[in-house]
């Protein structure tokens, strides 16, 4: 049985297409190995390779060999480059951008996207969310955290709302209506991506 198209961008066949293209187009200066892409997004090497072949054939991405590695990057010279960058910033952008901006901050233990974007990412139908809600678990410097949110806003082209909670409060929310509401709906945990290739 074929899976339904992803709710964030029903034009795509799979969420992996969106995740891959968002990562590459929102990090245009970086090359990433096919192996690291497969590990990062939890797909088989064969799936990642097939998708890379399709996208390279359509000239949406560039692929080259470097020793045993197959390195991928966005085709920023293509006519669709600017449009695709905007499209993936608005759809899969939060998962490609926020982990690398928020998680490295001192005092951050974990971070999650919640609200309408997380609901779309999890398959709930609806329009493109107007903002992105991020729950940060830990005690980071407030100025650094909000500067990371502003950086994300510049890339994603929309508001990024950040809410901090202590680790103890996250683990034992008690009767807090905010955390009860967050936990009752889809939540997407953020991760950093270590697979960036630099020469």
Contacts of residue 107, Cβ cutoff 8 Å, sequence gap at least 6: 138, 139, 140, 141
User: Within a domain: residue 97?
Assistant: yes
Contact predicate 89/157, CB 8 Å: yes
Domain boundary among 90, 121, 145: 90
Predicted TM-score (pTM) of the model is 0.87
Single out the residue of 140, 131, 148, 188 nearest to residue 165, CA to CA.
Answer: 140
Domain count, the chain: 2
Checking if the pLDDT of 139 tops 50, the result is yes
Burial class (CB in 10 A: 0-12, 13-18, 19+), 88: buried
pLDDT at 136: 98
CATH number at residue 84: 1.10.10.10
Could you report the per-residue pLDDT of 143-176, keeping only the tens digit for each?
Answer: 999 999 999 999 999 999 999 999 999 998 888 9
CATH number at residue 155: 3.30.460
Checking if the pLDDT of 195 tops 60, the result is no
Could you report the per-residue pLDDT of 71-115, keeping only the tens digit for each?
Answer: 999 999 989 999 999 999 999 999 999 999 999 999 999 999 999
156: number of Cβ within 10 Å: 21
Q: Is the Cα dihedral 81, 82, 83, 88 positive or negative?
A: positive
Same domain (yes/no): 71, 128: no
E strands in 10-66: 31-33, 61-66
φ, ψ for residue 178, nearest 5 deg: -65, -50
Same domain (yes/no): 78, 98: no
Domain boundary among 31, 65, 90: 90
Same domain (yes/no): 72, 100: no
Same domain (yes/no): 29, 63: yes
User: Within a domain: residue 196?
Assistant: no
Same domain (yes/no): 121, 167: yes
Q: In terms of residue numbers, what domain contains 175?
A: 93-189
């Amino acid at each position: 049985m074929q899976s339904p198209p992803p709710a964030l961008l029903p034009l795509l066949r799979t969420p992996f297409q969106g995740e891959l293209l968002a990562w590459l187009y929102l990090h245009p200066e970086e090359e990433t190995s096919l192996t690291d892409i497969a590990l990062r997004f939890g797909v088989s090497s064969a799936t990642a390779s097939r998708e890379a072949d399709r996208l390279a054939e359509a000239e949406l991405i560039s692929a080259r060999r470097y020793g045993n590695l197959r390195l991928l990057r966005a085709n920023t010279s293509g006519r669709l480059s600017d449009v695709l960058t905007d499209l993936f910033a608005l759809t899969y952008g939060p998962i490609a951008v926020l982990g690398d901006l928020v998680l490295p901050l001192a005092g951050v233990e974990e971070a999650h996207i919640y609200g309408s974007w997380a609901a779309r990412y999890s398959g709930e139908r609806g329009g493109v969310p107007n903002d992105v809600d991020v729950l940060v678990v830990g005690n980071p410097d407030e100025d650094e955290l909000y500067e990371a949110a502003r950086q994300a806003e510049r890339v994603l082209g929309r508001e990024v709302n950040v809410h901090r909670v202590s680790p103890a409060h996250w683990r034992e929310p008690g009767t807090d209506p905010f955390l009860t509401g967050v936990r009752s709906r889809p939540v997407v945990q953020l991760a950093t991506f270590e697979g960036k290739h630099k020469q």
